[in-house]
Amino acid sequence: MESKLQALPEDWDSALAIVAHPDDLEYGCASAVARWVSLGKKITYVMVTDGEAGIDSMTPSDVAPLRRKEELDSAAVVGVKDVEFLGLKDGVIEYDLALRRSISRMVRQYKPDVLITNNFAIKFPGGRLNMADHRAVGLAVLDAARDAGNRWIFTELLEEDLDPWNGVKNVFITGSPDAQHAVDVTDFIDKGVESLEKHRVYIENLGTDFDPDSFLTFNAAAVGERFDCDYAVAFEVWDI
């Protein structure tokens, strides 16, 4: 039997959620975001790419604006008003200094208490291979949490009037195989489902009978069983 999960720390006011693609946050995390927004927390999304390589039957130039629009609509469902798009090329993100700098720029600009990102382990829970973009972005987020607070790293950001920010307390990893914490989203699972459903064109082109409601409620119920509630979202928590 899997061990019980601990309550995720919620003694913070603002978060920056940084992921590789539009829709990455909607496969579970958005339900937690809806909860946090309802509690008055400020959440900002950062999409590293436009997800333009995600639909095989359409060209990237056609897909990019479509996926941006779907993400903006999706974020609005859970109360997120600010969504940044960094515009890196989908599918070939590299973990490098440029990526760390771009994320550090966002951290200095928004000054969050916590960062949120996707699982960057080699595998997803269940054993499937994780995507290279997820791995690169997640690791860069972890490092940027510290980079942003050091004035002697990326000194060019000082020229943009972006002073160091060392106020990041934690990084929350969604979809992690090593999750130890959870958030009760029983009252917000419907918002999570609606948020994922906004990625309609992308979902319709998956080539499967994917159902957002069944997917999210099944996974959230499994986590909720370990957290003594109906529906929950699990996170791995890193202290900075």
pTM of the model: 0.96
Tokens of 50: 């436009």
Token look-up 């997120």 returns: 80
Domains in the chain, CATH or no CATH each: 6-239 (3.40.50.10320)
76 CB-near residues (< 8 Å, 6+ apart): none
Question: What is the Cα–Cα distance from 125 to 16, expressed in whole angstroms?
Answer: 24
Angle at the Cα of 85 (from 135 to 143), degrees rounded to 5?
Answer: 40
Q: Cβ distance 113 to 13 under 8 Å?
A: yes
Find tokens 């400020």 and name the residue. Answer: 42
Q: Per-residue pLDDT tens for 160-213?
A: 999 999 999 999 999 999 999 999 999 999 999 999 999 999 898 887 789 999
Block residue for tokens 């959230």: 220
Integer-rounded Cα Rg, in Å, for the chain is 17
